[in-house]
Chains A and B, each alone.
Chain A
Amino acid sequence: MDALRATALSKQYRWSGGTNQALKSVSLTVPKGSILGLIGRNGAGKTTFLRIASTTLLPSGGKMDIFGHDVVQETNLVRERIAVIPQESRPFYWMNPRELIYYFLTLRGHTREDAHTRAEQALSELGLLEYADTLVSRLSGGLRRRAMVAMVMASDAEMLFLDEPTTGLDPVARRSVWEAIRKAAHAQRTIFLTTHYLDEAEALSTRIAILERGTLLAEGSREEIAQKVQHPYRVVVSGGFTQGELEGYGEPTWLEDRWMLFTGEKDAREISRMALERGARLSVAPVSLEDIFLQIVGKDISRDEEGDDEGA
Protein backbone atom coordinates (compact mmCIF):
# COMPACT_ATOMS: atom_id res chain seq x y z
CA MET A 1 0.00 0.00 0.00
CA ASP A 2 1.16 3.54 -0.70
CA ALA A 3 1.61 5.72 2.36
CA LEU A 4 0.74 8.84 0.38
CA ARG A 5 -1.01 9.23 -2.93
CA ALA A 6 -1.66 12.70 -4.39
CA THR A 7 -3.62 13.08 -7.59
CA ALA A 8 -3.79 16.38 -9.48
CA LEU A 9 -3.38 18.27 -6.21
CA SER A 10 -3.62 22.02 -6.45
CA LYS A 11 -3.57 24.93 -4.06
CA GLN A 12 -4.36 28.53 -4.77
CA TYR A 13 -3.84 31.20 -2.14
CA ARG A 14 -6.17 34.14 -2.44
CA TRP A 15 -5.89 37.50 -0.82
CA SER A 16 -7.29 40.93 -1.52
CA GLY A 17 -4.37 41.83 -3.80
CA GLY A 18 -4.51 38.74 -6.00
CA THR A 19 -3.84 35.02 -6.10
CA ASN A 20 -0.89 32.66 -6.06
CA GLN A 21 -1.07 29.21 -7.59
CA ALA A 22 1.20 27.43 -5.13
CA LEU A 23 0.59 23.90 -6.42
CA LYS A 24 -0.37 23.00 -9.97
CA SER A 25 -1.89 19.56 -10.43
CA VAL A 26 0.77 17.66 -8.53
CA SER A 27 0.53 13.86 -8.62
CA LEU A 28 2.89 11.92 -6.40
CA THR A 29 3.04 8.62 -4.55
CA VAL A 30 5.15 7.69 -1.55
CA PRO A 31 5.52 3.96 -0.87
CA LYS A 32 5.10 2.78 2.69
CA GLY A 33 8.39 2.54 4.58
CA SER A 34 10.26 4.82 2.17
CA ILE A 35 11.94 8.17 2.68
CA LEU A 36 10.78 10.73 0.15
CA GLY A 37 12.89 13.83 -0.18
CA LEU A 38 10.94 16.73 -1.67
CA ILE A 39 13.41 19.27 -2.94
CA GLY A 40 12.93 22.66 -4.46
CA ARG A 41 13.96 26.26 -4.14
CA ASN A 42 12.36 28.52 -1.55
CA GLY A 43 8.85 29.26 -2.76
CA ALA A 44 8.59 26.12 -4.88
CA GLY A 45 5.56 24.82 -2.94
CA LYS A 46 7.23 22.21 -0.71
CA THR A 47 5.72 23.46 2.54
CA THR A 48 2.29 23.87 0.97
CA PHE A 49 2.35 20.25 -0.19
CA LEU A 50 3.54 19.03 3.21
CA ARG A 51 0.91 21.06 5.05
CA ILE A 52 -1.90 19.64 2.93
CA ALA A 53 -0.57 16.13 3.50
CA SER A 54 -0.29 16.69 7.23
CA THR A 55 -3.91 17.95 7.34
CA THR A 56 -3.10 21.47 8.48
CA LEU A 57 -4.09 23.12 5.20
CA LEU A 58 -6.96 22.44 2.83
CA PRO A 59 -6.22 21.91 -0.87
CA SER A 60 -8.01 23.88 -3.59
CA GLY A 61 -8.39 20.88 -5.86
CA GLY A 62 -7.33 17.33 -6.53
CA LYS A 63 -7.14 14.49 -4.04
CA MET A 64 -4.71 13.16 -1.50
CA ASP A 65 -4.82 9.96 0.52
CA ILE A 66 -2.65 8.98 3.46
CA PHE A 67 -2.69 5.20 4.04
CA GLY A 68 -5.82 5.10 1.89
CA HIS A 69 -7.67 7.78 3.85
CA ASP A 70 -8.68 11.06 2.23
CA VAL A 71 -6.95 14.00 3.93
CA VAL A 72 -10.07 16.17 3.57
CA GLN A 73 -12.89 13.71 4.25
CA GLU A 74 -11.23 11.32 6.69
CA THR A 75 -9.03 13.73 8.56
CA ASN A 76 -9.31 12.02 11.94
CA LEU A 77 -8.19 8.67 10.55
CA VAL A 78 -5.21 10.35 8.91
CA ARG A 79 -4.24 12.25 12.05
CA GLU A 80 -4.09 9.03 14.08
CA ARG A 81 -1.16 7.91 11.94
CA ILE A 82 0.95 11.00 11.31
CA ALA A 83 3.19 13.51 13.07
CA VAL A 84 4.80 16.68 11.75
CA ILE A 85 7.66 19.04 12.48
CA PRO A 86 6.70 22.35 10.87
CA GLN A 87 9.30 24.57 9.31
CA GLU A 88 10.82 26.99 11.82
CA SER A 89 8.99 25.39 14.73
CA ARG A 90 10.44 26.06 18.16
CA PRO A 91 10.12 24.32 21.53
CA PHE A 92 8.61 25.81 24.70
CA TYR A 93 11.34 27.71 26.50
CA TRP A 94 10.18 26.71 29.99
CA MET A 95 10.58 22.99 29.37
CA ASN A 96 13.61 20.77 29.03
CA PRO A 97 13.92 18.23 26.19
CA ARG A 98 12.73 15.36 28.39
CA GLU A 99 9.60 17.28 29.40
CA LEU A 100 8.98 18.39 25.83
CA ILE A 101 8.94 14.85 24.48
CA TYR A 102 6.96 13.53 27.42
CA TYR A 103 4.38 16.30 27.01
CA PHE A 104 4.00 15.75 23.27
CA LEU A 105 3.50 12.02 23.77
CA THR A 106 1.00 12.25 26.63
CA LEU A 107 -0.85 14.93 24.65
CA ARG A 108 -1.10 12.48 21.75
CA GLY A 109 -2.57 9.90 24.10
CA HIS A 110 0.42 7.74 25.06
CA THR A 111 0.33 6.32 28.58
CA ARG A 112 2.74 7.84 31.09
CA GLU A 113 4.91 4.69 31.18
CA ASP A 114 5.05 4.44 27.40
CA ALA A 115 5.77 8.16 27.07
CA HIS A 116 8.60 7.87 29.56
CA THR A 117 10.19 4.89 27.79
CA ARG A 118 9.86 6.45 24.36
CA ALA A 119 11.21 9.80 25.57
CA GLU A 120 14.36 8.20 26.97
CA GLN A 121 14.88 6.24 23.75
CA ALA A 122 14.45 9.32 21.56
CA LEU A 123 16.79 11.36 23.76
CA SER A 124 19.40 8.66 23.42
CA GLU A 125 18.98 8.27 19.66
CA LEU A 126 19.35 11.99 19.03
CA GLY A 127 22.28 12.43 21.39
CA LEU A 128 20.28 14.57 23.79
CA LEU A 129 20.67 12.63 27.03
CA GLU A 130 23.37 15.00 28.20
CA TYR A 131 20.98 17.94 27.79
CA ALA A 132 17.76 16.15 28.79
CA ASP A 133 17.27 18.23 31.93
CA THR A 134 18.57 21.55 30.61
CA LEU A 135 15.92 24.18 29.99
CA VAL A 136 15.32 24.91 26.31
CA SER A 137 16.06 28.59 26.94
CA ARG A 138 19.65 27.56 27.70
CA LEU A 139 20.11 25.28 24.70
CA SER A 140 21.71 26.24 21.39
CA GLY A 141 19.58 26.56 18.26
CA GLY A 142 20.84 23.21 17.00
CA LEU A 143 19.94 21.38 20.21
CA ARG A 144 16.49 22.95 20.21
CA ARG A 145 15.93 21.69 16.69
CA ARG A 146 17.06 18.21 17.69
CA ALA A 147 14.63 18.30 20.58
CA MET A 148 11.85 19.08 18.10
CA VAL A 149 12.90 16.14 15.94
CA ALA A 150 13.00 13.92 19.03
CA MET A 151 9.39 14.86 19.85
CA VAL A 152 7.97 13.45 16.65
CA MET A 153 10.44 10.58 16.40
CA ALA A 154 9.32 9.39 19.82
CA SER A 155 5.67 9.23 18.78
CA ASP A 156 3.98 6.14 17.40
CA ALA A 157 3.09 7.90 14.13
CA GLU A 158 3.56 5.69 11.09
CA MET A 159 4.28 8.60 8.79
CA LEU A 160 6.47 11.54 9.75
CA PHE A 161 6.44 14.85 7.94
CA LEU A 162 9.67 16.73 8.48
CA ASP A 163 9.79 20.23 7.03
CA GLU A 164 13.45 21.16 6.72
CA PRO A 165 14.35 19.40 9.96
CA THR A 166 18.08 20.08 9.93
CA THR A 167 18.09 23.79 9.16
CA GLY A 168 20.57 25.47 11.47
CA LEU A 169 22.25 22.28 12.63
CA ASP A 170 25.99 21.74 12.58
CA PRO A 171 27.33 18.77 10.56
CA VAL A 172 27.57 16.47 13.59
CA ALA A 173 24.05 17.26 14.73
CA ARG A 174 22.76 16.79 11.19
CA ARG A 175 24.29 13.30 11.14
CA SER A 176 22.52 12.36 14.38
CA VAL A 177 19.20 13.52 12.90
CA TRP A 178 19.93 11.59 9.71
CA GLU A 179 20.65 8.49 11.76
CA ALA A 180 17.36 8.84 13.62
CA ILE A 181 15.52 9.26 10.31
CA ARG A 182 17.17 6.14 8.90
CA LYS A 183 16.26 4.17 12.03
CA ALA A 184 12.66 5.31 11.69
CA ALA A 185 12.60 4.12 8.09
CA HIS A 186 14.12 0.77 9.09
CA ALA A 187 11.25 0.44 11.54
CA GLN A 188 8.91 0.65 8.52
CA ARG A 189 7.88 4.22 9.19
CA THR A 190 7.39 6.44 6.17
CA ILE A 191 9.29 9.72 6.10
CA PHE A 192 8.28 12.72 4.04
CA LEU A 193 11.17 15.15 4.12
CA THR A 194 11.42 18.59 2.59
CA THR A 195 14.86 20.08 2.35
CA HIS A 196 16.92 22.42 0.30
CA TYR A 197 20.10 20.61 1.35
CA LEU A 198 20.67 18.39 -1.65
CA ASP A 199 23.32 16.32 0.11
CA GLU A 200 20.73 15.56 2.77
CA ALA A 201 18.15 14.50 0.21
CA GLU A 202 20.77 12.40 -1.55
CA ALA A 203 22.02 10.76 1.66
CA LEU A 204 18.60 9.93 3.09
CA SER A 205 15.96 9.61 0.41
CA THR A 206 14.93 6.39 -1.22
CA ARG A 207 12.84 8.52 -3.56
CA ILE A 208 13.28 12.12 -4.61
CA ALA A 209 10.76 14.59 -5.98
CA ILE A 210 11.67 17.94 -7.51
CA LEU A 211 9.16 20.76 -7.24
CA GLU A 212 9.49 24.05 -9.06
CA ARG A 213 6.91 26.86 -8.98
CA GLY A 214 4.21 24.45 -7.86
CA THR A 215 4.89 21.93 -10.59
CA LEU A 216 6.40 18.49 -10.03
CA LEU A 217 9.26 18.26 -12.50
CA ALA A 218 10.68 14.84 -11.62
CA GLU A 219 10.05 11.99 -9.21
CA GLY A 220 11.70 8.63 -8.62
CA SER A 221 14.78 7.04 -7.13
CA ARG A 222 18.07 8.91 -7.42
CA GLU A 223 19.05 6.66 -10.35
CA GLU A 224 15.71 7.02 -12.10
CA ILE A 225 15.92 10.79 -11.92
CA ALA A 226 19.54 10.75 -13.12
CA GLN A 227 18.41 8.84 -16.20
CA LYS A 228 15.92 11.54 -17.01
CA VAL A 229 18.55 14.22 -17.45
CA GLN A 230 19.99 14.75 -20.89
CA HIS A 231 23.59 14.88 -19.71
CA PRO A 232 24.38 12.28 -17.04
CA TYR A 233 28.11 13.15 -16.74
CA ARG A 234 29.86 16.14 -15.29
CA VAL A 235 33.19 16.94 -16.94
CA VAL A 236 35.67 19.46 -15.56
CA VAL A 237 38.76 20.38 -17.61
CA SER A 238 41.62 22.67 -16.76
CA GLY A 239 43.56 23.90 -19.82
CA GLY A 240 43.94 22.17 -23.19
CA PHE A 241 40.52 23.20 -24.54
CA THR A 242 39.00 26.34 -25.94
CA GLN A 243 35.44 27.39 -25.12
CA GLY A 244 34.52 26.87 -28.78
CA GLU A 245 35.74 23.31 -28.74
CA LEU A 246 33.80 22.46 -25.59
CA GLU A 247 30.62 24.04 -26.96
CA GLY A 248 30.54 21.16 -29.42
CA TYR A 249 29.77 18.85 -26.47
CA GLY A 250 27.47 20.94 -24.31
CA GLU A 251 27.21 24.29 -22.57
CA PRO A 252 30.52 24.93 -20.77
CA THR A 253 30.51 27.08 -17.64
CA TRP A 254 33.68 28.92 -16.56
CA LEU A 255 34.50 28.21 -12.89
CA GLU A 256 37.27 30.73 -12.15
CA ASP A 257 40.10 28.57 -13.52
CA ARG A 258 38.48 25.66 -15.34
CA TRP A 259 35.59 24.68 -17.56
CA MET A 260 32.67 22.56 -16.41
CA LEU A 261 30.05 21.01 -18.64
CA PHE A 262 27.42 18.28 -18.56
CA THR A 263 27.61 15.71 -21.36
CA GLY A 264 26.53 12.23 -22.37
CA GLU A 265 28.71 9.15 -21.90
CA LYS A 266 30.07 9.13 -25.48
CA ASP A 267 31.12 12.78 -25.38
CA ALA A 268 32.65 12.36 -21.93
CA ARG A 269 34.84 9.54 -23.27
CA GLU A 270 35.92 11.66 -26.25
CA ILE A 271 36.81 14.67 -24.10
CA SER A 272 38.76 12.36 -21.75
CA ARG A 273 40.74 10.92 -24.64
CA MET A 274 41.54 14.38 -26.02
CA ALA A 275 42.51 15.65 -22.57
CA LEU A 276 44.95 12.77 -22.14
CA GLU A 277 46.48 13.49 -25.54
CA ARG A 278 46.83 17.20 -24.69
CA GLY A 279 48.01 16.68 -21.13
CA ALA A 280 45.08 18.66 -19.72
CA ARG A 281 43.75 18.09 -16.22
CA LEU A 282 40.36 16.45 -16.26
CA SER A 283 37.75 14.92 -14.00
CA VAL A 284 34.68 12.99 -15.10
CA ALA A 285 31.94 11.89 -12.72
CA PRO A 286 28.28 10.96 -12.83
CA VAL A 287 26.16 14.03 -12.10
CA SER A 288 25.39 14.81 -8.46
CA LEU A 289 21.88 15.58 -7.27
CA GLU A 290 22.86 19.24 -7.37
CA ASP A 291 23.79 18.85 -11.05
CA ILE A 292 20.56 17.00 -11.75
CA PHE A 293 18.59 19.75 -10.03
CA LEU A 294 20.40 22.40 -12.04
CA GLN A 295 19.66 20.59 -15.31
CA ILE A 296 16.01 19.90 -14.53
CA VAL A 297 15.09 23.22 -12.93
CA GLY A 298 17.52 25.37 -14.87
CA LYS A 299 18.44 27.28 -11.72
CA ASP A 300 20.60 26.66 -8.69
CA ILE A 301 18.63 25.54 -5.61
CA SER A 302 20.09 28.39 -3.58
CA ARG A 303 18.39 30.95 -5.86
CA ASP A 304 15.17 32.01 -4.21
CA GLU A 305 11.85 31.97 -5.97
CA GLU A 306 10.04 35.29 -5.73
CA GLY A 307 7.83 35.40 -2.65
CA ASP A 308 8.17 33.10 0.31
CA ASP A 309 7.49 29.44 0.82
CA GLU A 310 4.78 30.06 3.36
CA GLY A 311 2.70 31.56 0.63
CA ALA A 312 3.62 28.83 -1.80
Chain B
Amino acid sequence: MKERKLASVLSIIAANGFLPLRRQPLFLINTLTSPFSFLFLIFILGGPDLIGYGISGGLVLTILSIGTSLQGDMTHYKADLKFQEMVVASPVKAGTYVTGMALSEFVFSIPGMCVFILLSVFYAHYIFLGGLIVLATLILLWIFASALGFTLATYLADMRETFMIAPIISIFLTVVPPVYYPISRLPPVVRPLAYLSPTTWAANLVQGAMGISSTPLTLGQGLLDGGVLLLSAAILFLVAWKKSQWRER
Protein backbone atom coordinates (compact mmCIF):
# COMPACT_ATOMS: atom_id res chain seq x y z
CA MET B 1 0.00 0.00 0.00
CA LYS B 2 2.83 2.40 0.89
CA GLU B 3 4.53 1.65 -2.44
CA ARG B 4 1.26 2.39 -4.25
CA LYS B 5 0.90 5.74 -2.47
CA LEU B 6 4.49 6.64 -3.21
CA ALA B 7 4.03 5.70 -6.87
CA SER B 8 0.91 7.89 -7.02
CA VAL B 9 2.73 10.84 -5.44
CA LEU B 10 5.68 10.51 -7.82
CA SER B 11 3.29 10.25 -10.74
CA ILE B 12 1.55 13.48 -9.70
CA ILE B 13 4.88 15.29 -9.30
CA ALA B 14 6.03 14.16 -12.74
CA ALA B 15 2.74 15.01 -14.45
CA ASN B 16 2.00 18.33 -12.73
CA GLY B 17 5.49 19.55 -11.89
CA PHE B 18 8.19 18.43 -14.28
CA LEU B 19 6.13 17.84 -17.43
CA PRO B 20 4.56 21.34 -17.60
CA LEU B 21 8.00 22.83 -16.91
CA ARG B 22 9.49 20.81 -19.75
CA ARG B 23 6.77 22.04 -22.08
CA GLN B 24 6.79 25.65 -20.80
CA PRO B 25 10.05 26.67 -19.04
CA LEU B 26 8.73 30.21 -18.47
CA PHE B 27 6.91 28.80 -15.42
CA LEU B 28 10.30 28.87 -13.70
CA ILE B 29 10.64 32.61 -14.10
CA ASN B 30 7.03 33.23 -13.15
CA THR B 31 7.55 32.03 -9.58
CA LEU B 32 10.49 34.37 -9.12
CA THR B 33 8.68 37.55 -10.04
CA SER B 34 6.88 38.45 -6.78
CA PRO B 35 9.71 37.78 -4.30
CA PHE B 36 12.20 39.58 -6.53
CA SER B 37 9.88 42.55 -6.95
CA PHE B 38 9.77 42.95 -3.17
CA LEU B 39 13.53 42.44 -2.89
CA PHE B 40 14.11 45.08 -5.55
CA LEU B 41 11.81 47.60 -3.86
CA ILE B 42 13.38 46.98 -0.47
CA PHE B 43 16.86 47.44 -1.89
CA ILE B 44 15.88 50.66 -3.67
CA LEU B 45 13.87 52.16 -0.83
CA GLY B 46 15.62 50.75 2.24
CA GLY B 47 19.17 50.41 1.04
CA PRO B 48 21.63 47.61 1.80
CA ASP B 49 20.72 47.54 5.51
CA LEU B 50 17.39 45.93 4.82
CA ILE B 51 18.46 43.55 2.06
CA GLY B 52 18.72 40.68 4.55
CA TYR B 53 15.03 41.13 5.31
CA GLY B 54 14.31 41.11 1.59
CA ILE B 55 16.09 37.79 1.27
CA SER B 56 14.45 36.15 4.29
CA GLY B 57 11.08 37.52 3.13
CA GLY B 58 11.77 36.10 -0.32
CA LEU B 59 12.29 32.64 1.16
CA VAL B 60 9.03 32.87 3.11
CA LEU B 61 7.06 34.26 0.17
CA THR B 62 8.42 31.64 -2.22
CA ILE B 63 7.14 28.89 0.07
CA LEU B 64 3.83 30.63 0.69
CA SER B 65 3.31 30.97 -3.04
CA ILE B 66 3.17 27.17 -3.19
CA GLY B 67 -0.10 27.38 -1.28
CA THR B 68 -1.47 30.08 -3.58
CA SER B 69 -0.47 28.12 -6.69
CA LEU B 70 -1.90 24.93 -5.20
CA GLN B 71 -5.19 26.69 -4.56
CA GLY B 72 -5.29 27.99 -8.13
CA ASP B 73 -4.31 24.73 -9.80
CA MET B 74 -6.64 22.61 -7.71
CA THR B 75 -9.54 24.96 -8.37
CA HIS B 76 -8.73 24.79 -12.09
CA TYR B 77 -8.52 20.98 -12.03
CA LYS B 78 -11.79 20.79 -10.10
CA ALA B 79 -13.95 23.45 -11.73
CA ASP B 80 -12.63 23.64 -15.30
CA LEU B 81 -11.16 20.23 -16.07
CA LYS B 82 -13.28 18.14 -13.65
CA PHE B 83 -10.16 16.09 -13.04
CA GLN B 84 -10.55 16.18 -9.26
CA GLU B 85 -13.83 14.29 -9.65
CA MET B 86 -11.95 11.56 -11.52
CA VAL B 87 -9.47 11.38 -8.65
CA VAL B 88 -12.15 11.37 -5.96
CA ALA B 89 -13.85 8.45 -7.73
CA SER B 90 -10.66 6.40 -7.68
CA PRO B 91 -8.55 4.51 -5.13
CA VAL B 92 -6.37 7.62 -4.66
CA LYS B 93 -6.82 9.15 -1.21
CA ALA B 94 -7.17 12.91 -0.73
CA GLY B 95 -3.95 13.02 1.32
CA THR B 96 -1.96 11.29 -1.40
CA TYR B 97 -3.30 13.62 -4.05
CA VAL B 98 -2.68 16.78 -2.04
CA THR B 99 0.82 15.67 -1.06
CA GLY B 100 1.63 15.01 -4.71
CA MET B 101 0.13 18.32 -5.80
CA ALA B 102 1.90 20.29 -3.05
CA LEU B 103 5.23 18.68 -3.99
CA SER B 104 4.64 19.35 -7.67
CA GLU B 105 4.06 23.01 -6.82
CA PHE B 106 7.32 22.90 -4.91
CA VAL B 107 9.06 21.92 -8.16
CA PHE B 108 8.08 25.31 -9.60
CA SER B 109 9.57 27.10 -6.62
CA ILE B 110 12.95 25.33 -6.79
CA PRO B 111 14.65 28.13 -8.79
CA GLY B 112 13.37 30.77 -6.35
CA MET B 113 14.50 28.72 -3.37
CA CYS B 114 17.94 28.18 -4.89
CA VAL B 115 18.41 31.85 -5.67
CA PHE B 116 17.28 33.05 -2.23
CA ILE B 117 19.31 30.40 -0.40
CA LEU B 118 22.40 31.41 -2.35
CA LEU B 119 21.75 35.09 -1.63
CA SER B 120 21.27 34.30 2.04
CA VAL B 121 24.65 32.55 2.13
CA PHE B 122 26.28 35.76 0.87
CA TYR B 123 24.30 38.31 2.86
CA ALA B 124 23.25 36.53 6.06
CA HIS B 125 25.27 35.60 9.12
CA TYR B 126 23.79 32.25 9.98
CA ILE B 127 23.78 31.35 13.65
CA PHE B 128 24.68 27.85 14.81
CA LEU B 129 22.13 25.39 13.34
CA GLY B 130 20.63 28.36 11.50
CA GLY B 131 20.35 26.44 8.25
CA LEU B 132 18.41 23.66 9.95
CA ILE B 133 16.11 26.16 11.66
CA VAL B 134 15.35 27.83 8.32
CA LEU B 135 14.73 24.44 6.68
CA ALA B 136 12.36 23.31 9.46
CA THR B 137 10.54 26.65 9.34
CA LEU B 138 10.07 26.45 5.58
CA ILE B 139 8.78 22.87 5.82
CA LEU B 140 6.19 23.91 8.43
CA LEU B 141 5.22 26.88 6.27
CA TRP B 142 4.89 24.58 3.27
CA ILE B 143 2.48 22.34 5.22
CA PHE B 144 0.54 25.38 6.44
CA ALA B 145 0.29 26.98 3.00
CA SER B 146 -0.57 23.71 1.23
CA ALA B 147 -3.31 22.83 3.72
CA LEU B 148 -4.76 26.34 3.40
CA GLY B 149 -4.61 26.25 -0.41
CA PHE B 150 -6.21 22.81 -0.61
CA THR B 151 -9.02 23.62 1.83
CA LEU B 152 -9.91 26.83 0.02
CA ALA B 153 -9.77 25.13 -3.37
CA THR B 154 -12.36 22.57 -2.32
CA TYR B 155 -14.80 25.39 -1.56
CA LEU B 156 -14.14 27.61 -4.57
CA ALA B 157 -16.43 27.08 -7.54
CA ASP B 158 -14.59 29.05 -10.17
CA MET B 159 -11.14 30.34 -11.06
CA ARG B 160 -12.36 33.92 -10.74
CA GLU B 161 -12.82 33.31 -7.02
CA THR B 162 -9.21 32.19 -6.82
CA PHE B 163 -8.07 35.40 -8.50
CA MET B 164 -10.07 37.29 -5.88
CA ILE B 165 -8.90 35.35 -2.80
CA ALA B 166 -5.19 34.90 -3.58
CA PRO B 167 -4.25 38.60 -3.27
CA ILE B 168 -6.25 38.95 -0.04
CA ILE B 169 -4.41 36.01 1.51
CA SER B 170 -1.14 37.36 0.23
CA ILE B 171 -1.76 40.69 1.97
CA PHE B 172 -2.60 39.09 5.30
CA LEU B 173 0.22 36.55 5.21
CA THR B 174 3.02 38.38 3.43
CA VAL B 175 2.64 42.12 3.04
CA VAL B 176 1.15 43.29 6.34
CA PRO B 177 2.97 40.95 8.75
CA PRO B 178 6.67 41.72 9.29
CA VAL B 179 7.91 39.22 6.72
CA TYR B 180 9.90 41.74 4.69
CA TYR B 181 10.82 44.08 7.51
CA PRO B 182 11.72 43.90 11.22
CA ILE B 183 8.75 43.79 13.56
CA SER B 184 10.31 46.71 15.45
CA ARG B 185 9.19 48.94 12.58
CA LEU B 186 5.57 48.37 13.55
CA PRO B 187 4.06 50.72 16.14
CA PRO B 188 3.97 48.92 19.52
CA VAL B 189 0.15 49.14 19.58
CA VAL B 190 -0.15 47.16 16.35
CA ARG B 191 2.51 44.54 17.09
CA PRO B 192 0.22 42.10 18.93
CA LEU B 193 -2.00 42.03 15.84
CA ALA B 194 0.94 40.99 13.69
CA TYR B 195 1.32 37.88 15.81
CA LEU B 196 -2.08 36.68 14.61
CA SER B 197 -0.39 35.71 11.37
CA PRO B 198 1.68 32.51 11.47
CA THR B 199 4.04 34.09 8.98
CA THR B 200 5.15 36.58 11.64
CA TRP B 201 6.43 33.70 13.77
CA ALA B 202 8.00 32.07 10.73
CA ALA B 203 9.69 35.31 9.71
CA ASN B 204 10.98 35.77 13.28
CA LEU B 205 12.60 32.36 13.08
CA VAL B 206 14.10 32.84 9.62
CA GLN B 207 15.37 36.34 10.39
CA GLY B 208 16.81 35.15 13.70
CA ALA B 209 18.42 32.04 12.20
CA MET B 210 19.96 34.13 9.43
CA GLY B 211 21.37 36.53 12.02
CA ILE B 212 19.84 39.60 10.44
CA SER B 213 17.45 40.44 13.26
CA SER B 214 18.42 43.22 15.65
CA THR B 215 17.47 40.95 18.55
CA PRO B 216 19.31 37.63 18.60
CA LEU B 217 17.27 34.45 18.45
CA THR B 218 17.25 32.92 21.92
CA LEU B 219 16.36 29.31 22.63
CA GLY B 220 13.16 30.36 24.39
CA GLN B 221 12.09 32.67 21.59
CA GLY B 222 12.95 30.06 18.99
CA LEU B 223 10.89 27.41 20.77
CA LEU B 224 7.96 29.82 21.08
CA ASP B 225 8.14 30.83 17.40
CA GLY B 226 8.53 27.23 16.29
CA GLY B 227 5.77 26.03 18.61
CA VAL B 228 3.25 28.55 17.32
CA LEU B 229 4.18 27.76 13.73
CA LEU B 230 3.89 24.04 14.39
CA LEU B 231 0.50 24.58 16.02
CA SER B 232 -0.68 26.71 13.07
CA ALA B 233 0.41 24.05 10.58
CA ALA B 234 -1.26 21.33 12.67
CA ILE B 235 -4.52 23.29 12.91
CA LEU B 236 -4.60 23.96 9.16
CA PHE B 237 -3.77 20.31 8.51
CA LEU B 238 -6.70 19.29 10.72
CA VAL B 239 -9.00 21.80 9.05
CA ALA B 240 -7.98 20.45 5.64
CA TRP B 241 -8.58 16.90 6.82
CA LYS B 242 -11.94 17.51 8.47
CA LYS B 243 -13.47 20.45 6.67
CA SER B 244 -12.31 20.28 3.08
CA GLN B 245 -14.98 19.28 0.61
CA TRP B 246 -13.17 16.44 -1.15
CA ARG B 247 -16.60 14.92 -1.65
CA GLU B 248 -19.38 17.42 -2.18
CA ARG B 249 -22.24 17.60 0.28
Contact = CB atoms under 8 A, between A and B. Distances in A.
A18 to B, nearest CB: 17
A56 B12 contact: no
B86 interface: yes
B91 A58 contact: no
A84 B86 contact: yes
Nearest to B248: A57
Interface stretch (B18-26, B108-116, B221-229): B18-26
B249 interface: yes
A89 B12 contact: no
A86 B15 contact: no
B15 A99 contact: yes
Instruction: Tell me the dominant secondary structure on chain A's binding face.
Output: loop
B4 interface: yes
A161 B89 contact: yes
A83 interface: yes
Contacts, number: 91
Contact of A56 (B4, B11, B81, B85): B85
A107 B82 contact: no
A106 interface: yes
Nearest to A151: B86
A150 to B, nearest CB: 13
A92 B16 CA distance: 9
A60 to B, nearest CB: 9
A263 interface: no
B88 A56 contact: yes
B187 to A, nearest CB: 40
Given A56-B89, A95-B15, A108-B92, A88 B248 contact: no
Interface in A91-128: 91-92, 94-95, 99, 103-104, 106-109, 111
Nearest to B100: A107
Bin chain B's interface residue count: 20 to 34
B185 interface: no
B3 to A, nearest CB: 9
B82 A90 contact: yes
B80 interface: yes
Bin chain A's interface residue count: 35 or more
B218 interface: no
Interface in A34-91: 51, 54-58, 75-76, 79-80, 82-91
Instruction: Tell me the dominant secondary structure on chain B's binding face.
Output: helix
A254 to B, nearest CB: 43
Contacts of B80: 90
A245 to B, nearest CB: 53
B87 A107 contact: yes
Nearest to B90: A108
Contacts of B24: 94
Contacts of A89: 81-83, 85-86
Interface string B46-62: 00000000000000000
Contact of A107 (B19, B23, B88, B92): B92
- A51, A91, A107, A135 — which one has the most chain B CB atoms within 10 A of its CB? A107
A188 B236 CA distance: 44
A58 B12 contact: no
B150 to A, nearest CB: 17
A83 B86 contact: yes
Contacts of A51: 85, 248
A83 B86 CA distance: 7
Interface of B: 4, 7-8, 11-12, 14-15, 19-20, 23-24, 80-83, 85-93, 247-249
30 contacts: A51-B248, A55-B247, A56-B89, A75-B247, A76-B91, A79-B89, A79-B90, A79-B91, A83-B89, A84-B86, A85-B86, A87-B82, A89-B81, A89-B86, A90-B80, A90-B82, A91-B81, A92-B15, A94-B19, A94-B24, A95-B15, A95-B19, A103-B11, A103-B15, A106-B11, A107-B87, A107-B90, A108-B90, A108-B92, A161-B89
Given A58-B249, A106-B8, 10 more contacts: A51-B248, A55-B247, A75-B247, A79-B88, A92-B81, A94-B23, A104-B86, A107-B8, A107-B11, A108-B91
**Top 3 closest pairs, chain A to chain B, by CB:** A89-B82, A86-B82, A106-B11
